[in-house]
C-alpha cells in the first residue's frame, strides 16, 4: 500500500513505525509543517509543501509563536496536485483540528482515499462524564463531527486505563513501536546511572527532579545524565535556571548535561544507563519512555503522563505523584537501595518488551486496524 502521513513534524516516535511499514513492503510518504533539529531522516525524508499566501498573511496578522507552526497551511490547489501525484491508499493525519489537517482530509475525501486521524490523547475524552467544561465537550463534538464529515477512523497510541470504557466504533488503540535492543548480558553500573531526556520546557519538570535528588544526595551515590534539545532562547534560559539550581543544591559532581544529541546517536546513551526518569507533568505522550524500555531501562514517570499506561508497576517501572518531589525521591530511593529490585525489572523487560512495544507488535495491530476498516469502504 501507499501510505501518506501528515503531521507537524517527523517526530522520533514515527521513526520505527515508518521503518517497519517500509520493510514490510509499503510505500510511505511524510508531509510536515516543519523540520526538527535532531530528527533522523535516514529512513525517509519528510516534505514541506510551500506555505500559501493566506497562511503567511494569517501569521503576519495574528502571529504564530509555536515551534511547529501550528497555523501553517499550504495552498489547497498546490497540495492537491502533490497529493494526486502520490495517490495514497491510506492517509494518516496527526492533529485533527488544524487547517492543514482539514486541507489534507479534503484531498483524501475528493479522491476517495481511506482517512485515519491520529492524536496522542487518552480516549477518555470521548466520554461525556469526563468533560468538566463546556469547551471540552464542544471539542469532543467537533472531533466526532470531523470523523463523520470525512468518513474517517481514528486511533491513539495511549491505552484507555479505564477498562469500563470500550472504544467507540471506528476508534482504535494502535501502540507506539520502538526497536527492542536489550542486552541479554546486562549489568548494573556502580553508582547507578540515571537518565532523563527532554526539551527544556517548564512542564518537563527538570527542577522537580533536581529537588528530589537533593533530598537523597547525602544518602546515596548516583549519576544523572540530562539529555536535552537546546535550539532556541526558551530552551537556553530554562537550562541556565536548571544549572543554577544544580549549583545551589551542590550536586554538580553527580550531574552531566548533554545537548542536541541526534536521535541516531542515542543508542549508546541508553545502553550506558540503568534507570530512566520522566518527571514531566501533563505530558501527553512521551516516546522516550518506550525507547528506554527498549534498551532495558525501567522507567519512573508521573501519574499525569500519557505513557504511564505502558508502565506495569514494579515490573517495568513505577509511577509517582505528579509535581511531588518527595514522592519522586522515595521511588528513586527504592532503586538505589536495592540492586535486586532494579535487576528484576530489567529482567522483566528482557522477557516481555518484544510482546509489548516492538515493531512486530505494532504491525500486528496496524494490520488488524486496516482489516477492520475494510468493512467501511473509503
The CB density around residue 155, as the number of other CB atoms within 10 Å, is 21
pTM recorded for the entire structure: 0.86
The strand pairing partners of 320, in sequence order, are 302
Q: What is the pLDDT of residue 66?
A: 53
153-203 tens-digit pLDDT: 999 898 765 555 556 788 898 999 999 999 888 899 999 999 999 989 999
At 313, list the grid cell: 508497576
What is the band of 64 on the pLDDT scale with cuts at 50, 70, 90? low
What is the band of 130 on the pLDDT scale with cuts at 50, 70, 90? low
Nearest Cα neighbor of 324 from 195, 209, 202 is: 209
| 70 vs 134, higher pLDDT | 134
224-281 tens-digit pLDDT: 999 998 888 989 999 999 999 999 999 999 999 999 998 889 999 999 999 999 999 9
Question: Number of C-alpha atoms within 13 angstroms, CB side, residue 67?
Answer: 13
CB 200 within 8 A of CB 230: yes
The ranges of the chain annotated as CATH 3.40.50.2000 are 2-177+358-376, 192-356
| 352 vs 129, higher pLDDT | 352
Q: What is the pLDDT of residue 128?
A: 52
Q: What is the pLDDT of residue 131?
A: 55
The Cα–Cα gap between 320 and 331 comes to 7
Q: What is the pLDDT of residue 38?
A: 78
Three-state secondary structure string covering 208-238? HHHHHHHHHCCCCCEEEEEEECCCCHHHHHH
- Average pLDDT rounded to a whole number, residues 28-55: 90
How do beta strands 90-94 and 2-7 pair?
parallel
Q: Is the pLDDT of residue 6 over 80?
A: yes
For the chain, what's the residue count?
378
CB-based contacts of 32-36 (< 8 A; 24+ apart in sequence): 32/6, 32/7, 32/8, 33/7, 33/8, 33/9, 33/68, 33/69, 33/70, 33/72, 33/100, 34/8, 34/9, 34/67, 34/68, 34/69, 34/72, 35/9, 35/10, 36/9, 36/10, 36/11
Nearest Cα neighbor of 307 from 278, 286, 326 is: 286
The Cα–Cα gap between 75 and 185 comes to 54
Q: Is the pLDDT of residue 4 over 80?
A: yes
Question: Which numeric CATH code is attached to 2-177+358-376?
Answer: 3.40.50.2000
What is the band of 68 on the pLDDT scale with cuts at 50, 70, 90? low
Q: Is the pLDDT of residue 67 over 60?
A: no
Nearest Cα neighbor of 212 from 133, 326, 111, 341 is: 326
Q: What is the pLDDT of residue 160?
A: 64
Question: Which numeric CATH code is attached to 192-356?
Answer: 3.40.50.2000
Amino acid at each position: 500500500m501507499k501510505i501518506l502521513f501528515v503531521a507537524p513534524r517527523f517526530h522520533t516516535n514515527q521513526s520505527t513505525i515508518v521503518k517497519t511499514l517500509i520493510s514490510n513492503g509499503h510505500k510511505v510518504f511524510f508531509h510536515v509543517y516543519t523540520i526538527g533539529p535532531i530528527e533522523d531522516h535516514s529512513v525517509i525524508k519528510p516534505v514541506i509543501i510551500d506555505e500559501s499566501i493566506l497562511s503567511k498573511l494569517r501569521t503576519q496578522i495574528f502571529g504564530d509563536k509555536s515551534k511547529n507552526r501550528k497555523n501553517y497551511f499550504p495552498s489547497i490547489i498546490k497540495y492537491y496536485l502533490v497529493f494526486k501525484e502520490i495517490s495514497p491508499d491510506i492517509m494518516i493525519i496527526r492533529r485533527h483540528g488544524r487547517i492543514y489537517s482539514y486541507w489534507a482530509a479534503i484531498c483524501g475525501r475528493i479522491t476517495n482515499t481511506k482517512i485515519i486521524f491520529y492524536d496522542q490523547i487518552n480516549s477518555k475524552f470521548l466520554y461525556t462524564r469526563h468533560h468538566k467544561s463546556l469547551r471540552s465537550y464542544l471539542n469532543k463534538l467537533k472531533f466526532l463531527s470531523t470523523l463523520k464529515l470525512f468518513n474517517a477512523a481514528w486511533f491513539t497510541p495511549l491505552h484507555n486505563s479505564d477498562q469500563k470504557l470500550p472504544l467507540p466504533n471506528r476508534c482504535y488503540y494502535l501502540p507506539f513501536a520502538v526497536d527492542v535492543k536489550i542486552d541479554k548480558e546486562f549489568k548494573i553500573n556502580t553508582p547507578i546511572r540515571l537518565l532523563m531526556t527532554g526539551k527544556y520546557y517548564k512542564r518537563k519538570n527538570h527542577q522537580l527532579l533536581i529537588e528530589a535528588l537533593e533530598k537523597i544526595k547525602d544518602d546515596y551515590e548516583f549519576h544523572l545524565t540530562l539529555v536535552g534539545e537546546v535550539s532556541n532562547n526558551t530552551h537556553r534560559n530554562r537550562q541556565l535556571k536548571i544549572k543554577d539550581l544544580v549549583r545551589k543544591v551542590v550536586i554538580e559532581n553527580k550531574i552531566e548535561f548533554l545537548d542536541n544529541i541526534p536521535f541516531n546517536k542515542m543508542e549508546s546513551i541508553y545502553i550506558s544507563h540503568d534507570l530512566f526518569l520522566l518527571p514531566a507533568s501533563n505530558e501527553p505522550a512521551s516516546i522516550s519512555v518506550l525507547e528506554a524500555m527498549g534498551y532495558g531501562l525501567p522507567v519512573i514517570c508521573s501519574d499525569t503522563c500519557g505513557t504511564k499506561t505502558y508502565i506495569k508497576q514494579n515490573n517495568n517501572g513505577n509511577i509517582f505523584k505528579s509535581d511531588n518531589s518527595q514522592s519522586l525521591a522515595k521511588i528513586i530511593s527504592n532503586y538505589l537501595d536495592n540492586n535486586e529490585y532494579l535487576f528484576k525489572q530489567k529482567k522483566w523487560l528482557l522477557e516481555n518488551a518484544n510482546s509489548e512495544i516492538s515493531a512486530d507488535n505494532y504491525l500486528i495491530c496496524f494490520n488488524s486496524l486496516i482489516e477492520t476498516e475494510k468493512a467501511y469502504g473509503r
